[in-house]
Amino acid sequence: MTFRVAVAGASGYAGGEVLRLLLGHPELEVGTLTAAASAGTRLQEHHPHLHPLRDRVLLPTTVESLSGHDVVVLALPHGASASIAAQLPDDVLVLDCGADHRLTDGGAWQEFYGGAHAGSWPYGLPELTRADGRKQRDSVVGVRRIAVPGCYPTAVSLALAPGYAAGLLGPEAIVVAASGASGAGRTTKASFTASEVMGSMSPYGIGGLHRHTPEMEQNLSAAAGLPVAVSFSPTLAPMPRGILATCSAALLPQHHDLDDEAVRQTWQQAYADEPFVHVLPSGTWPRTADVQGSNLVALQLAVDRRVNRVVVVAAVDNLTKGTAGGALQCANLALGLPETMGLPVVGLAP
């Protein structure tokens, strides 16, 4: 059976990546494409690399345009998905790539995003280990509403969750992560132009201000079974796509006697059967180039014995596994298809 998929926000980077993956999926068919300011234009004006779809005309993002599909992907700015989603039929699979339905705490939504909280949907990070020993995958199988994770939380949550689920780590995590410019979307801000980004790195959202912070805390708290606080410092890197996240947390005193291999085995066991999370061989460290265009998260870890902290480095493509690939992975689970169907595990090089 083939499922017809509408994509709202098709002119943006996330929407374009969803379409790239849909074109290679054997059971998902591209349906209506919509946009806001770009409505009425052809897709080739925004994504000339999507040759099979170049003559498609973008329609306005309305419930009428999105009706008649089995699946609707909302690749819209934060705050724009909830009103559309509320009007779609209950039997349609809706995947929200924005933040509108990720947070369970309405207070956190108000603090970091503002406005009314739309409520939470099943969270779409299948590999996330929870405190009860289950994976988050159980929450998305067969459902019809899924909140697709943010790109930074995908990398950070999968980097640290095994240690929290195993009771190894202290309740405060420190994360320093670099992202490519596409993480900001197709913005017209001068700070994201090539002349400003190339040859330079710059911090932003410092001091606990980044909107992905409560999502990371929500995920790691679910893994630990108790509250986890995250100090998150993001930086903008001179590359179009990719995230490299360096994440650390204290090894609890009762586990200081564990050797490095025992700590490492915790992560290896957590992801032994996960096709999209790779714990790299000892001595090999993740690079963004190695996961570009793939639905993989590459991890490596070490124990800093001077301060008894576990350091985990994660690399992910923010547009693939960090957004569009994560969405289609969840779509496969929700629709009863093989989880890996249509999702690339091979990166691009050089």
Tokens matching residue 68 = 């008649």
**Closest CA relative to residue 239, chosen from 343, 311, 319, 328:** 319
Alpha carbon distance 160, 156 (integer Å): 6
- The set of catalytic residues is 151
Handedness of CA 87, 91, 96, 99 (dihedral sign): positive
Q: Which residues of 293-329 are buried (b: 16+ CB within 10 A; e: fewer)?
A: bbbbbbbbbbbeeeeebbbbbbbbbbbbbbbbbbbbb
Alpha carbon distance 75, 170 (integer Å): 35
Strand order in the sheet with 28-35: 59-60, 28-35, 3-8, 71-74, 93-96, 145-147
- The SS3 of residue 236 is strand
Cβ pair 315, 287 in contact under 8 A: yes
